Structure 1
Amino acid sequence: MSRGLRNNNPLNIRLSATTRWQGEVRPSLDPSFCQFESMAYGYRAGLKLLQNYRRVNGCRTISDFINRWAPPVENNTSGYISRVCREMQVPASHVPDVRDKGTMCAFAAAISQVENGVPAVMADVQAGWNLL
């Protein structure tokens, strides 16, 4: 089982000294990544973070979001963008509506698949959206 699934953190959100997510388990047994009470809370945190990337950081396109999410200093970011776009069936220049449930659930599911190597359970992603 992948680290993200084991931690109920399907988007692999790193621990932060300044941010405590709803449903986050503290202390985390993982030294680097958040752990959540359930997959729904893990998806909620990821969806909220993506919405903040638009609101706070000005991310517009899928490419912008993934460059921030998975920076080139530690990832094959161009490959990551390609995989997310292939899963969502959109170009890298696509501007997602961060307020649209279908769009954001598809976006989170695509990131989860890249992070964990298995398709996301859409009921878990949607449950995360419903916690927003």
Structure 2
Amino acid sequence: MATPTRGVRNNNPGNIDYVPANKWRGQLPPNPALEKRFARFDTPENGIRALGKLLLTYQDKHGLKTVKAIISRWAPSTENDTGAYVRAVEANTGTKPGAEIDLHAASVMQGFVKAIIHHENAGFAYPDSVLVEGVRRALE
């Protein structure tokens, strides 16, 4: 079996940076011996919840309404091939380039989160039950 990706090992499939001010539900205390940069969570559902909550912040607080706008903030071009990332998320969610999306709709959020997890974790996919529960927690 292949070694799990960092995001899967950390139950942080969005690879969210650890920021002391963020008090995510289920976030584990920092442990530089295990992970120097990224947050770690007790369950993948809580990692997915944090991913969803962050995406909602991008949409609601920062006014980002398209896949390109959201992914450009999520995965800046200084660290990623943002154009390829945007195309992958659009393809995986069936979103036309430039179309506005509503992440408050569970089906849209699920598709978006699933595409990010796939991209961030070398094609990894959680069982639908884990994805659905993580998104439910993000939208509550």
| TM-score normalised per structure 1 | 0.94
Q: 1:130 aligns with which of 111, 136, 139?
A: 136
The residue number in structure 2 matching 1:104 is: 109
Q: Is contact 2:65–2:102 with CA below 8 Å preserved after alignment?
A: no
Q: Is contact 1:109–1:119 with CA below 8 Å preserved after alignment?
A: no
The alpha-carbon deviation at position 17 of structure 1 amounts to 2.3
The residue number in structure 2 matching 1:45 is: 50
Q: Which has the larger radius of gyration?
A: 2
Query: Distance between the aligned counterparts of 1:49 and 1:15, measured in 2?
Result: 13
The residue number in structure 2 matching 1:6 is: 9
Could you list the runs of 5+ residues in structure 2 that have no partner in the other structure? Answer: none
Tell me which amino acid in the other structure corresponds to 1:5. V
Q: 1:16 aligns with which of 12, 16, 19?
A: 19
Query: Distance between the aligned counterparts of 1:94 and 1:10, measured in 2?
Result: 25
Tell me which amino acid in the other structure corresponds to 1:72. S
Query: Distance between the aligned counterparts of 1:63 and 1:128, measured in 2?
Result: 23
Structure 1's consecutive aligned runs of 4 or more residues displaced over 6 angstroms after TM superposition are none
State the percentage of identical aligned residues.
33
Query: Distance between the aligned counterparts of 1:40 and 1:125, measured in 2?
Result: 7
Query: Distance between the aligned counterparts of 1:94 and 1:106, measured in 2?
Result: 15
The root-mean-square deviation of aligned C-alpha atoms, in Å, is 1.2
